[in-house]
Chains A and B, each alone.
Chain A
Amino acid sequence: MAQSEQLLSLYRQMLIIRYTEEQLARSHQMGLIHGACHTYVGEEAIATGVCAHLRPDDAVFSTHRGHGHALAKGVSPREVVAELFGRATGCSQGRGGSMHLFKPEVGMMGTSGIVGPCILQATGAGYSFKLLKTDQVGVAFFGDGAVNNGAFHEGLNLASIWKLPTLFVCENNMYATEVPFAYSAGNPHVGNRGPAYGMESLTVDGNDVLAVYEAAEEAVRRARGGEGPTLIECRTYRTRAHAEGMRDGGYRTPEEVEEWKARDPITRYNEWLLKNEEAGTETLAEIEAEVKEMVADAEEFARNSPWPEADTVSEHVFNQG
């Protein structure tokens, strides 16, 4: 069970993700974000609960829906917002945008425009850490859609046969764009697939930050201790459209969306903290105000940041020493 201070930091982290993305959504509407923007609204508990156990030298590999992973792994809202604004001060110096957020300095090994590779790369990180005899871990975050990709099968099997220190965190939000997982997967469960690979696996409520926190705690402990990989299925839901500016009807009902909004991970956790007297309303309000301030600052920072210089465009294709 997490300590009081840790309990509040989980709350704060979820708010950082939520407020940053609500800002990104507004900025997208205003035309300040030029490319795609897939938000993580409704899924914040997962990145928050998992990354709470990670050190900066642990390696996270993420997806197209990766703002939350980057923020939870320690990329600042300033660097994330500036990156989506295409500015030189962004975490990828404006080269990447939403789907290419990199900050290896804190173990953020990249979001990705391609579904699948994060699973294999986290497996590779596990291989490195095993070979180097460190206690670092590799973590892949991926959607239900990626489970149907060959990378899932191959990555899990490789991690299993070599007992690699890797966490496979599936964010099952029930849809890949508009395609229901119930349609696209012959086995609609992910958390019960571990045994098929000779691997520990479990399913948790992905909208319950403490449930995710506890599952990840055990998985990270096992990975650091040489006991091998774990597959964690987190059941969750994205409450906004697949991407900003996209239609969000036709494939799911408004009732379903409302039902999941009622299970909002942040509201639920707020109520839990109050009910269990882990925090008072004043403390929580202070955190909210502080994070709002932080996000407003990030937006202003991004808006006032310089564009990248066009003549730098060919830098970094190859190693520059």
Chain B
Amino acid sequence: MRELTYVEATLEALDSAMARDPSIFVVGEGIGERGGNFNTTVGLYDKYGPERLCDTPISERGFVGMCAGAAMTGTRPVVDFMFLDFILDAFGELVNQIAKMQYMSSGRLKMPILLRGAIGIGHSAATHHSGSYYPIFAHIPGFRVVVPAIPSDAKGLFATALQSDDPVLFLEHKSLLFNRGDVPEGDYAIPFGQARMAREGSDCTVVAIGSMVDKSVAVCDKLAEDGISAEVIDPRTIAPLDMATILESVSKTGRLLIVDETFQPCGVGAEIAAQVIDEGFDDLDAPIRRLNGAHVPTPYSPPLELAIVPETNDIEQSIRNLLAE
């Protein structure tokens, strides 16, 4: 199979959908001729022109609200934020309008809007360019929240996002964007709410999200040399969340660790843990453990930045601790 980067994989899905569906258009800063700060739209401007690759002023609230209106009236906007942090200026439009519109209109209006942006900590981007925020969106009824970890998933999930009539947040960790991986040719769609088994094992279950997936798999491969058999599950979408796969794994292993770069309080790990306690309490042989990024704004200086992100040695230690419980 040929290899693509994560970004190239989503670009392929976007290009293919835009070729088929003239109602899809993209808005964002620098997504026209420039092809996107993260190369998310390279080449599309030449193919589809300035109305469908629409370079915007720095008007986040403006163009998000505008895209809500567009989605309610027959088109399918893709909003490309470059850094997801900039979405926060449009929070009212998102939470009060976009997430609630289908409900408020008793299902007579659709909200096919795709909101994408780069997330995550790294490269001293500091606190206005490092946010992930997906637990916030997962908390709100009405959003689909997608956090792909590998290029082939990025393509298939992006295709699903482009077909969705619900608002989708498609969140791409900066450290993954230029990773290469096998990506099938042609169109395919991966349904939301289906986790991927990233690594099979029997001693413990590691649920890892986004940039933590590859890191966790690498750690578990290494632990295998010590006879430890860890299973790694990548939920791929946070909302909906594939609890069935997680529960099934926990029923086999009896131990659960959730590894997530975002904040621990009220986070994805808390939700998964609560649901496992509700549905799989008797399967547990040890307390559920969580490994998260520190609960602080993101600092700039490399030694500080390093201190707040779960690294491979932290993951390894957490797994060893969990197995010793």
Contacts and interface: CB of A to CB of B under 8 A. Distances in A.
A45 to B, nearest CB: 24
Nearest to B34: A178
B123 A100 contact: no
A183 B33 CA distance: 13
Interface in B289-325: 294-297, 299-304, 306-308
A178 B85 contact: no
Given A94-B304, A95-B304, A97-B124, A178 B129 contact: no
Contacts of B128: 99-100, 112-114
A296 to B, nearest CB: 23
Say what secondary structure dominates the interface of chain A.
loop
Contacts of B60: 149
B65 to A, nearest CB: 10
Contacts of A313: 294, 296, 299, 304, 307-308
A317 B299 CA distance: 11
Contact of A145 (B34, B57, B124, B299): B57
A176 B127 contact: no
B124 A35 contact: yes
Contacts, number: 121
Interface residues of A, number: 41
A113 B129 contact: yes
Given A86-B302, A114-B85, A308-B301, A176 B57 contact: yes
B196 interface: no
B92 to A, nearest CB: 11
Contacts of A96: 126-127, 299-300
B279 interface: no
A88 B300 CA distance: 11
B153 to A, nearest CB: 29
Given A35-B124, A307-B301, A310-B303, A113 B85 contact: yes
B178 interface: no
Given A86-B300, A313-B296, A114 B89 contact: yes
B58 A34 contact: no
17 contacts: A34-B123, A34-B124, A35-B300, A36-B125, A86-B303, A86-B304, A92-B300, A96-B300, A97-B301, A99-B129, A100-B128, A114-B128, A176-B29, A309-B303, A313-B294, A313-B296, A317-B297
